[in-house]
């Protein structure tokens, strides 16, 4: 009987641990929030600097309630944060969250 050689798996690098279930769920929720082109465009706009809903209304051809809904989804996913100044709410990107998403997609150096 001839022995077959063992081939090293090529799908994962050696020592690459799987994501813990809780972390995978959080990442999936964040990527799910980015699965909408409007939310990606809003996040891209907010990456240029903070903005209030009225600024975003001027940028996108959407109603204020629709913009607010998209901002809520992004906020619930931890991708944007809000601060209130009087009656105005100003939204901005949460850089640490975007950095964490980027790190998940980055390949380690070979």
Domain extents for the chain? 23-104
Give pLDDT tens digits for 30-87. Answer: 999 999 999 999 999 999 999 999 899 888 889 999 999 999 999 999 999 999 999 9
Task: Give ∠ CA 68-70-73 in degrees, rounded to 5.
Answer: 110
Please name which of 38, 59, 36, 37 lies closest in space to residue 48, comparing C-alpha atoms. 59
Gyration radius from the chain CA atoms:
20
As a whole number of angstroms, the distance between CA 3 and CA 93 comes to 56
pTM exceeds 0.85: no
Length of the chain, please? 110
Task: Give ∠ CA 89-93-99 in degrees, rounded to 5.
Answer: 160
Among the four given CATH numbers 3.40.640.10, 3.40.50.2000, 1.10.10.10, 1.10.150.20, the one describing domain 23-104: 1.10.10.10
CB-based contact 33:74 (threshold 8 Å): yes
- Flag whether pLDDT at 13 surpasses 90: no
Per DSSP, helices labelled H in 1-110 are 21-33, 37-46, 53-59, 64-76, 95-105
Q: Please, how many CA atoms are within 13 Å of residue 107, restricted to the half-sphere of its CB?
A: 5
């Amino acid at each position: 009987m001839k022995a077959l050689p063992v081939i090293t798996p090529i799908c994962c690098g050696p020592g690459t641990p799987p994501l813990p279930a809780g972390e995978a769920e959080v990442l999936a929720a964040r990527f799910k929030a980015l699965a909408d082109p409007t939310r990606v465009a809003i996040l891209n706009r907010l990456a240029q600097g903070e903005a209030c809903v009225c600024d975003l209304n001027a940028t996108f051809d959407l109603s204020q309630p629709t913009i607010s809904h998209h901002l809520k989804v992004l906020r619930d996913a931890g991708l944007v944060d809000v601060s209130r100044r009087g009656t105005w709410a100003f939204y901005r990107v949460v850089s640490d969250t975007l950095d964490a998403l980027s790190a998940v997609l980055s390949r380690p150096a070979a």
